[in-house]
Structure 1
Amino acid sequence: MNLRRLMFDMMLAWENPGAEEGLLKNNSTSCNPVEIEDEDEGSIFYANSTSLAVQVNDMKTVGLSAFTRIAPSCPIIADLVTVHNLFDALTCSSGGRLHYFVYDKYLKSLDRVFRSIKGVMQSSLASSFNLDAGECIVAIDGDKPIHPVLQHIGISAWPGTLILTTHALYFQSIRVGYGDKIVKYDLATDSNQVIKRDFTGPLGVRLFDKAVMYKSSTLTEPIYFDFPELGSPSRRNYWLAITREVMQVNRFIRKFNLEDIQRAEALSKAVLGILRYSAVKEAFHIAPSHFKTTLTFSLAEKLPKGDMVLEALYNNYFQLLDTSLSHLATEPAVDKAPQTHSVPFSLYALSRMGFNLLKRKNETGKEISFCAVCVGVTKSLEAALQESFLYSERIEAARATVDQVKVEGLDANVALMQEILFSFIHAGKLIYSLTKWEDPLKSFLFLAFILYVIQSGLVSYTVPSVFIVFAVVMLWHKYSEEGKLLEVLEVRPPPAKNPVEQILILQEAISKLEDTLQAVNIVLLKFRALLFAAVPKVCPCCCFRIRVCLLRDIA
């Protein structure tokens, strides 16, 4: 509790560096006497209204700058890559200001998640999976009857327990007469793994959007993990996100050939990110996704120019870990001045809490004790993150614009398309009327123009000329009407139709499609007859019968 209040007071001090000492003291002490109830003790919305009003005060809230500067100093609480998204998740309902009771609730939830995973690691269930050295459990599901997990292979399905570790997925199926069979799906090797959301149902029928599909080059067919639940597929989305995070961190390890301490530190960052993600989900019932996710390596993979973020993370953090540890292994640290090396903070934090991600035990504390903190190694990483976030904001703005112009309904979309393509449709109708010789003079002039183009050999210049015209029009609009907005595109929606009319329209459209397919097949049959210079015969037992009149036309 004292550490939580101390860090929050540090954020307040960073937020108001010129404030008087008494003001900061009041801010600190005002948080002390009030205990906000968590989910185990009650709800914050049913706490004492006077106590709650005391804490919800602009003078006792923290902004983005202070949180992103102080919180990453403790790797368990936040990570430098995802700290902005974590702040957005914690302040999504408070207007971008972090209150102490929200911060305290998040830390309490994080503590419960750590204790839960540590309990699973020390249970007999974990020992039955025979985990490798340095392998750590990060999530478990299906161990309770009220939250089952089903594994679908073909048309068969079995309930069981699903466990995610830093290296693989384990599924312990419960099959009558077969015992408890444990299957391992490796996520650490490069076997072209693909994991995505999918539909499942009884006997292989795709009915419910509650499953995760996993396939790799080592499997003969995809595996489906079904998370049945009422309402939205929150369990499925959670497992999909954390499994992708494990896959991404192992890809990062393979890409940069990380070994020993580097590899363990990367896995530690991923584990801490997953535990923070779980804490936010359990405490506030939200699961940020896409550009707002709090998973480190998944965010770097989704962000535009995310490869630059990963390279900066390696060059300014993991590479220095290798330099410092190899250097300290050969020379004693007594006579050395402090070097600019980075410390594997995430690995050290997990090790102090009982999680061992090193293949050799009792190695972490001995090696970390000789490391010194590198000052300024995060500048390049922060610059890469800032540039990437800038591009992501532009992409989100573009997506929001696209979502605003989406129109619902088939008839409305057809009407909108006709309005947008009005000029092209009008030109097509004009050319079609010329081919019908409705106006002989215009049709003759059009035919003469086409013959002149063909005779002069200008056909090859047609497509480039069209692109040049488009480019000239675009440049003219850009420089002559700079800053001018497009006029509103007005589309008259078609009259609303009842379900019976919609069914009749659909039936008519299907009939037209059938007629079109028949016409295309007739044309293909004619070309086939001309190609082989033979008249096809009618086969009485053929599934597709050709009428005699059609054969006469072909002949």
Structure 2
Amino acid sequence: METEEETTTTPTTNGGVKLGMWETILRNHHNSLKSLFHLKKPDSIITDHSSVNSPKPIPQLSPIANEVVSTSSKILGVSTNELQHAFDSELPLGVKELLTYARHLVEFCSFKAIQKLSRTSDYLSDSEFRRFTFDVMLAWEAPSVHADQLVTESPTSNDETVGDEDDASLFYSSSTNMAVQVDDKKTVGLEAFSRIAPVCILIADIITVHNLFDALTNSSGRRLHFLVYDKYIRSLDKVIRNSKNVLASSVGNLQLAEEEIVLDVDGIIPTQPVLQHIGIAAWPGRLTLTNYALYFESLGVGVHEKAIRYDLGADMKQVIKPELTGPLGARLFDKAVMYKSTSVAEPVYFEFPEFKANLRRDYWLDISLEILRAHRFVRKFGLKDTQKLEVLARANLGIFRYRALKEAFKFFSSNYKTLLTFNLAETLPRGDRILQTLSNSLTNSTAASGKRDISANVERKKQSAVSPAAVVALFCLGFKSKKAADIYEETTAVCDIRVGEINPLDMAVKQSLLDTGKAEAAQATVDQVKVEGIDTNVAVMKELLFPVIESANRLQLLASWKDFYRSTAFLILGCFVIIRGWIQYLLPTIFLFIAIIMLWRRHFRKGGALEPFTVRPPPNRNAVEQLLTLQEAITQFESLIQAGNIALLKIRALLLAILPQATETVALFLVFIAAVFAFVPPKYILLVIFIECYTREMPCRRESSKRWIRRFREWWIRIPAAPVELVKPEECKKRK
């Protein structure tokens, strides 16, 4: 069977090609979008050995790459020879090197074909478009005739197991069963997917494409199967159609502006309402998110009342975060999103009741924050007109992709929220650089003018600019507005990726992902060394601080004067260092010594595994004993805070002269200290402090030191504390 299928697309020696699956399908669908893949000619012309219908294979390309180039030529309405000649003449020599010629030729032809197909309205519903884009990824992985062939049968063979009905998750329901049905060799890796998928910005964004691939290949060993890819595209098409239908029915009710797009609606099903809490009052209703605002329509007697608009676009210090809520203002259920801004008198809570976890709340939190952060990005970088529309369009498409994954595969993953560009930039390392790069690209972008069958060269100085691809994509899908129409008419290049070039956004994302990998690896080591129990953590800390504790014990032993000769020697050494002014070099010497030890270890360890740190854990304690230990620690901490407050109140009493004699004594002492600091060099002050503290335990000073400390404590005890009055604020809750 494999031999027969291969012969249907293998070029013959006389330059002809036998009719394959593409020709059979396309002849039967002349009146649909699929006719773009085949020139509309009679059957007698199809069998003719013309340059378009029977293209001569390019020697440098693999069979699958030749199939992609052939299909691209049919979509564009030119021969493969003309495409190759355009590639040779239009692109610089740097992308036509021997080792990369085949891959860049595949990119050149397929990019133009995908861009042309992306300007139609229903290309996502075309199964041949989905098959073609997947074949492009396969060809990108094995473009050269000398490359290892990853596909042993025709790349355009139709998978009859894929239907158009939207049933349950096809791949994730049983990954083992799916692996049997799909040829393992016909899968796509991350590099090919991240290169080809963003060419159609509706399918993937260049910033989040790596996370999209991770979500699609979560259960397939980091290789993307066509069935999963097809399922995702069909779900994306369904989501966009639903949004268009909701938009058509909501324009009048919500009084939407011309450029507003409905992204999602919740609370339509009576058994799953959305509750709006203001104060202690709550109303069920319907919540709608657009690319500019949140709308809540409270449910009246059988109908929805006039919608309340919560603006996300204006600069009103909006705050959106998860929050607890419940009946009568009780904080019981973690299923709400709080909205607060200067336009509302008090915070508004949107509760999403459900029995399982809080998935609805998390989803609405993510998509609402995405729109809010997109508008903040626009204001931060001062983007206007086309650039602003492009930013919002990218946020809209990210939410559509988010919904498509969530609805297609019937389970919720924490990776889904990483498909939202501006939410992702808030959490990624160097995420601010990604946004800065995006802003620079949008600022430098200019819409190319003029149209040809094979689009013109883009000037080299414009290669780093981002075209308004998202605005054009939404316009082609039917989300029309006057500004979008003007942009559509002026724009020819609708792709952020250029043939043979790396987009600055892609470089910024890859650097961020590299840092993310390092951070995750470091966090894994942190999770491994975490221990439970207060006493165990204290034991670990004591072992880690052993050098510091041991040094402090040695100094305390010297200061106790139990060994008179060693203590005397240290005293003389310390005085000599202070008098000569060497004390300022003490800290630099310590830091330099530590640095030398670190470099020494770095040189001789040479990447070897670090030996684990050995700690002797304390005896095991049961839960009651651990609770008693925690209670004792809290009590001691409270006592320290009380002592600190009493000291501060006594100082306040001295400052306010509650005890006049004590205040006079302190004032005279402060005048004396000020004179000392004003007229005595600092090294002599430090010398006196060192001698006084270090010699307190000397045999000749021990008794007098204890006497002076006792007198100070007795004087301190006689200082009264300033009075304190606790006043509880009046609690007034607004009742509506």
- Normalised by the shorter chain, which TM-score bucket? 0.7 to 0.9
The aligned counterpart of 2:704 is none
The aligned counterpart of 1:159 is 284
Structural mapping, 1:188-199, within 5 Å: 188-199=313-324
Measure how far apart 1:501 and its partner are: 1.9
Identity %: 46
Structural mapping, 1:457-472, within 5 Å: 460-472=584-596
Q: What is the distance in 1 between the residues matched to 2:235 and 2:554?
A: 69
The aligned counterpart of 1:403 is 527
Q: What is the distance in 2 between the residues matched to 1:47 and 1:431?
A: 67
Structural mapping, 1:90-101, within 5 Å: 90-101=216-227
> Residue type of the partner of 2:277?
H
Q: 2:631 aligns with which of 500, 507, 513?
A: 507
User: Residues 486-526 of structure 1: CA distance to partner in whole angstroms, max 9, x if unpaired?
Assistant: 33112233333223223332333344334434544554566
Q: What is the distance in 2 between the residues matched to 1:138 and 1:180?
A: 21
Residue 410 of structure 2 corresponds to residue 282 of structure 1: no
Q: 2:156 aligns with which of 10, 28, 51?
A: 28
> Residue type of the partner of 1:91?
T
> Residue type of the partner of 1:66?
A
Structural mapping, 1:152-191, within 5 Å: 152-174=277-299, 180-191=305-316
> Residue type of the partner of 1:110?
L
Measure how far apart 1:318 and its partner are: 6.0
3-state DSSP class of the match of 2:204? coil
Contact 1:168 1:186 in 2 (8 A): yes
Summarize the Cα distance change of 1:321–1:513 in structure 2 as closer, same or farther, 3 Å threshold: same
The aligned counterpart of 1:103 is 229
Q: 1:40 aligns with which of 167, 172, 178?
A: 167
Per the normalisation by structure 2, the TM-score is 0.63
RMSD (Å) for aligned C-alpha atoms: 4.0
Measure how far apart 1:134 and its partner are: 0.5
Contact 2:151 2:185 in 1 (8 A): no
> Residue type of the partner of 1:153?
I
Summarize the Cα distance change of 1:363–1:220 in structure 2 as closer, same or farther, 3 Å threshold: same
Residue 489 of structure 2 corresponds to residue 366 of structure 1: yes
Q: What is the distance in 2 between the residues matched to 1:345 and 1:269?
A: 9
Between stretches 480-489 and 518-527, larger displacement belongs to 518-527
Contact 1:82 1:295 in 2 (8 A): yes
The aligned counterpart of 1:71 is 197
Q: 1:319 aligns with which of 430, 444, 451?
A: 444
Residue 540 of structure 2 corresponds to residue 416 of structure 1: yes
User: Residues 331-369 of structure 1: CA distance to partner in whole angstroms, max 9, x if unpaired?
Assistant: x779x993527753322222222212x45475455334x
3-state DSSP class of the match of 2:307? strand
Contact 1:152 1:224 in 2 (8 A): yes
Measure how far apart 1:409 and its partner are: 2.9
Contact 2:531 2:537 in 1 (8 A): yes
Contact 1:142 1:149 in 2 (8 A): yes
Between stretches 1-10 and 512-521, larger displacement belongs to 512-521
Q: What is the distance in 2 between the residues matched to 1:449 and 1:520?
A: 36
The aligned counterpart of 1:384 is 508
Structural mapping, 1:428-443, within 5 Å: 428-436=552-560, 438-439=562-563, 442=566
Residue 369 of structure 2 corresponds to residue 244 of structure 1: yes
The aligned counterpart of 2:422 is 297
Measure how far apart 1:528 and its partner are: 5.3
> Residue type of the partner of 1:554?
R
Measure how far apart 1:165 and its partner are: 1.0
The aligned counterpart of 1:516 is 640
Residue 479 of structure 2 corresponds to residue 355 of structure 1: yes
Measure how far apart 1:423 and its partner are: 1.9
> Residue type of the partner of 2:542?
Q
Q: What is the distance in 1 between the residues matched to 2:717 and 2:394?
A: 74
3-state DSSP class of the match of 2:371? helix
The aligned counterpart of 1:9 is 135
Gaps of 5+ in 1: 537-548
Summarize the Cα distance change of 1:517–1:383 in structure 2 as closer, same or farther, 3 Å threshold: closer
Contact 1:151 1:225 in 2 (8 A): yes
User: Residues 447-485 of structure 1: CA distance to partner in whole angstroms, max 9, x if unpaired?
Assistant: 555555555555555444443443343344334544344
Q: 2:349 aligns with which of 209, 221, 224?
A: 224
Summarize the Cα distance change of 1:446–1:286 in structure 2 as closer, same or farther, 3 Å threshold: same
Q: What is the distance in 2 between the residues matched to 1:401 and 1:48?
A: 31
The aligned counterpart of 1:234 is 359
Measure how far apart 1:413 and its partner are: 1.9
The aligned counterpart of 1:118 is 244
The aligned counterpart of 1:543 is none
Q: What is the distance in 1 between the residues matched to 2:270 and 2:340?
A: 27
Q: What is the distance in 2 between the residues matched to 1:361 and 1:488?
A: 61
Q: Which structure has the larger Rg? A: 2
> Residue type of the partner of 1:135?
E
3-state DSSP class of the match of 2:305? strand
Q: What is the distance in 1 between the residues matched to 2:168 and 2:648?
A: 75
Summarize the Cα distance change of 1:495–1:148 in structure 2 as closer, same or farther, 3 Å threshold: farther
Summarize the Cα distance change of 1:316–1:481 in structure 2 as closer, same or farther, 3 Å threshold: same
User: Residues 289-338 of structure 1: CA distance to partner in whole angstroms, max 9, x if unpaired?
Assistant: 49x8122333344333334433444444663334x3xxx4xxx779x993
User: Residues 130-183 of structure 1: CA distance to partner in whole angstroms, max 9, x if unpaired?
Assistant: 111101111222232333323333444433322211112222234789983533
Contact 2:215 2:415 in 1 (8 A): no
User: Residues 190-220 of structure 1: CA distance to partner in whole angstroms, max 9, x if unpaired?
Assistant: 3333333333344444443333333334445
The aligned counterpart of 1:554 is 718
Q: What is the distance in 2 between the residues matched to 1:525 and 1:387?
A: 54
Summarize the Cα distance change of 1:407–1:81 in structure 2 as closer, same or farther, 3 Å threshold: same
3-state DSSP class of the match of 2:516? helix
User: Residues 232-287 of structure 1: CA distance to partner in whole angstroms, max 9, x if unpaired?
Assistant: 32222222222222123223333444333333232222211111111112223244
Measure how far apart 1:392 and its partner are: 2.5
Per the normalisation by structure 1, the TM-score is 0.81
Gaps of 5+ in 2: 1-126, 661-712, 720-736
Between stretches 512-521 and 494-503, larger displacement belongs to 512-521
Summarize the Cα distance change of 1:159–1:439 in structure 2 as closer, same or farther, 3 Å threshold: farther
Residue 314 of structure 2 corresponds to residue 150 of structure 1: no
Residue 549 of structure 2 corresponds to residue 425 of structure 1: yes
Summarize the Cα distance change of 1:217–1:479 in structure 2 as closer, same or farther, 3 Å threshold: farther
Equivalenced residue count is 531
Contact 1:200 1:210 in 2 (8 A): yes
3-state DSSP class of the match of 2:602? helix
Contact 2:137 2:196 in 1 (8 A): yes
Structural mapping, 1:535-554, within 5 Å: 535=659, 553-554=717-718
Residue 257 of structure 2 corresponds to residue 132 of structure 1: yes
3-state DSSP class of the match of 2:372? helix
Q: What is the distance in 1 between the residues matched to 2:580 and 2:649?
A: 36
Q: 1:338 aligns with which of 430, 449, 456?
A: 456
Summarize the Cα distance change of 1:343–1:55 in structure 2 as closer, same or farther, 3 Å threshold: farther
3-state DSSP class of the match of 1:398? helix
